[in-house]
Amino acid sequence: MFDNQTVPFSLRRRALAVALAAAGAFGPAAAQAQDIKVGFNADQSGTAAAELGLAARHGFELAIEDINKAGGVLGKKLVAVVRDDTGAPPKSIQNMTELIDNEKVVAVIGPTNSGNALAWLHIPQQKKIPVIVPVATATEITRRYAAEPQNYIFRVSMVDREQVALLLAYAVKSSKGKKIGFIADSTGFGTQGVKDATEVLALHGLAPVAVEKFGPKDTDMTAQLAKIRDAGADTVLIYGLADGNAHTLRSMEKIAYMPTAIGTWGNMSSVLLNTAGPKLAEHLVFATSTAEDANTRASALAARVRARYPQMVTFVSAAQAYDSVMLLASAIKQAGSADGEKVAAALEGNLPDTQGIVKLYSKPFTKAKHEALGVEDFQLGKWKDGKVTAFSDAITKSFTPADFKR
């Protein structure tokens, strides 16, 4: 045995370093290294869409909690690594780089905003890290790398074109005179929405009787609505963000023109409820994939999310994020590995049936299709007593697959 006085300091220091490294290899750090890290990157504070991101984060975390309670995945625990991109593309890009390069996540769930996804899709694609999108709806998100040998971008959310297919199926059947008008904001979102809606309506053999636009900051749409009214429209598709849609509803009330009003899932934002008012908000019917009262699973998850996030209004984001994690865990088990290439291949392969909140997923993805949800999975919703609830009537009950043109 050596005495410290007879061993050179440099050797003692080297021996200490080796001892500490050995201790670390078998200590808490090693245990943590056995965990499987999953990233979450979405707006939780920066824009009106932050409500969707917050709800999604809680669904994401509760899914991980449930998986770990059931024994984890491949004998390991899932660990959530959460980042807020504040709705800003540069921040979202920075988060993705940090999550993948520094945190070494095996997959990412997110984002909220389509623009952010489109800004960083190349990063996980190049680094072979699967992404499952639980909120953002832009059609291009899952298609950009569809021609690559392996596309790493998947989605469990409501694609814009599929929402339009549902909304116009309802509009065509509910309009007595088959006179349908469109009013949309002048942003890229609204412009693309009108394009989709015009094309889908043409598949029904119809054309809009009027198409009007409003600026994203406009609060008075009475002039545009008067033109739509005078064209005879008894049904109006409002295609914009929640604040503009709310002002459109208020403008309808102002000129006593209250046609059937339909819109996309962004109307679940509390901005619509607070700006239009609870009663007027109930006039709008919108697309959703689920609601708090859609089934017992949804009700149970909603109660758990509300215990953590009492202000939640966009439950659908929580449900879709929860299901995204469940599908990811199923793919890791199927692959027998958390390796990105193997997990992506498993997502496209013969996944075992996986029970989610929205539905039972039976082989939800294929090589050619990276969308787990389609129009056949969607339903209509409405505000009622300050909450989003499922909406059904004689028209929705009469739907057949042939009604959904896209």
Task: Dump pLDDT digits (tens) for 248-278.
Answer: 999 999 999 999 999 998 898 888 999 999 9
382, containing H or E segment? strand 379-384
Cβ distance 330 to 351 under 8 Å? yes
pLDDT of residue 13: 45
pLDDT of residue 34: 82
Q: Could you tell me how many residues make up the chain?
A: 406
The residue type of 338 is: A
Model confidence pTM above 0.85? no
CA distance 41 to 22: 34
The residue type of 171 is: A
Mapping DSSP to helix (H, G, I), strand (E, B) and coil, where does residue 66 land?
A: helix
The CA-atom distances, in angstroms, between 133 and each of 13, 15, 60, 183 are 49, 48, 11, 28
CA neighbor of 117 nearest in space, from 101, 133, 97: 133
List, in sequence order, the alpha helices (H) in 242-310: 242-254, 270-276, 278-281, 296-308
Cβ distance 325 to 63 under 8 Å? yes
CA distance 263 to 353: 32
CA neighbor of 171 nearest in space, from 324, 380, 389, 385: 380
List, in sequence order, the alpha helices (H) in 82-149: 89-97, 114-120, 122-127
381, containing H or E segment? strand 379-384
CA neighbor of 49 nearest in space, from 144, 116, 120, 98: 116
The verdict on whether omega for the bond into residue 111 sits within 30 degrees of 0, i.e. cis, is yes
β-bridge pairing 387-391 and 180-185: unpaired
**For residue 117, how many C-alpha atoms fall within 13 Å in the half-sphere facing its CB?**
28
67, containing H or E segment? helix 50-69
pLDDT of residue 23: 43
Cβ distance 71 to 31 under 8 Å? no
CATH of 34-158+294-373, one of 3.40.50.2300, 3.40.630.150, 3.40.190.80, 3.30.43.10: 3.40.50.2300
161-288+379-403 maps to which CATH number?
3.40.50.2300
pLDDT of residue 33: 54
Residue ranges, comma separated, of all CATH 3.40.50.2300 domains in the chain are 34-158+294-373, 161-288+379-403
pLDDT of residue 317: 95
Mapping DSSP to helix (H, G, I), strand (E, B) and coil, where does residue 75 land?
A: coil
pLDDT of residue 313: 82
Residues of the chain with pLDDT under 50: 1-32
